[in-house]
Amino acid sequence: MRPQWIIDLHEDFPGSALIAAALDDPLIVEPHDAMMGRWPGVHEGRAVVGYGTMPTIRSLRRVPRLGEAVFDDYATLRCSFYYRHVYDLLGRTAVFVPFSAVPQLPLRRMVGGDRVFVRSDTNYKLFPAGVHAIAELGRWLQTYDQYRDELVVVSEVVSFEREFRCFCRNGRFVCGSSYPIEPYLPVPDDVRGFAEAAAARLLPHGSTMVTVDVGVGRDGALRLVEMGGVNSWGIYGSHVADFIAAMEAEALARADV
């Protein structure tokens, strides 16, 4: 029996509508129901796959049995965990500090320029990741002062001519495309190989299905943008049938454990 999909449809997450349209019997979860903890019933013994916005998927992960529908391990997907395994693939200097410590850092000396990239350590972004002028960073930090005790990534700024999103299962490329701007282009072979190498490094830690975002620089160099989960990441121009097949295979494999 094919796994049962639980899908959170949201206008800001078009991937969920694409997946739902390709399925025969998806169970649709309304945002209000997810917030109130009202989840659809699933036949006992049937494998489950969840897909939708990160707030809903994180809530679903905490539901007995239905939590099996979520493959994303947010502890493993923290930058402070997986960077140690893929740091050489980043192609840029990156450090971890508490949010409140950023103003005290010798940023210009660290990054060799007047701009710096700052993002949350967590896979679910506590604040918008982005590039900031060091001279104006203080005002931005004050805006998000409620996260002063959270760990953040501070890194030098690198430019990409194009970025690719690659979904990998068991260290092998499943599907993907360029992102986030259309037209979405196929993933070149060298980018596939790079993504597979990154995904394989997390296999010993239980991350069997991950998203690998790869940037291509003006010089053609490949760099890891970030790694993430699969249950709440947009598919852009990825082949829908291949994505569904991989997610269902993962659900069935986990159900057999």
- Indicate whether 257 pLDDT > 70: no
Query: Hey, what amino acid is at 17?
Result: A
Instruction: Decide if pLDDT at 8 tops 90.
Output: yes
Confidence bin at 6 (pLDDT 50/70/90): very high
- Give tens-digit pLDDT for 30-86: 888 888 889 999 988 899 999 999 999 999 999 998 999 999 999 999 999 999 999
Q: Are strands 48-51 and 4-8 parallel, antiparallel or unpaired?
A: parallel
Residue 10: exposure state from Cβ atoms within 10 A (0-12, 13-18, ≥19): middle
Cα→Cα distances 103→35, 106, 129, 214, Å: 36, 8, 17, 29
User: What is the structure's pLDDT at 12?
Assistant: 86
Q: Which residues contact 41 (CB under 8 A, 6 or more apart)?
A: none
Q: Cα separation of 121 and 198, whole Å? A: 18
Amino acid identity of residue 85, one-letter, is H
Residue ranges per structural domain of the chain: 4-69, 92-155, 162-229
Identity of the amino acid at 109: R
Q: Identify the pLDDT of residue 11.
A: 86
Same fold yes or no, 92-155 and 162-229:
no
What architecture is domain 162-229? 2-Layer Sandwich (3.30)
Instruction: State the amino acid at position 68 in one-letter form.
Output: E
CB 101 within 8 A of CB 148: no
* pTM for this entry: 0.95
**Do residues 78 and 34 lie in contact, with contact meaning Cβ atoms separated by under 8 Å?**
no
Query: What average pLDDT is seen over the chain?
Result: 95
Class in CATH terms, 92-155: alpha beta
Is 109's pLDDT higher than 90?
Answer: yes
Tokens standing for residue 130: 């982005």
Region of poorest pLDDT, from 29-38, 59-68, 228-237, 242-251? 29-38
- The H-assigned helical ranges of the chain are 14-21, 31-36, 54-61, 79-90, 107-111, 137-143, 189-202, 240-256
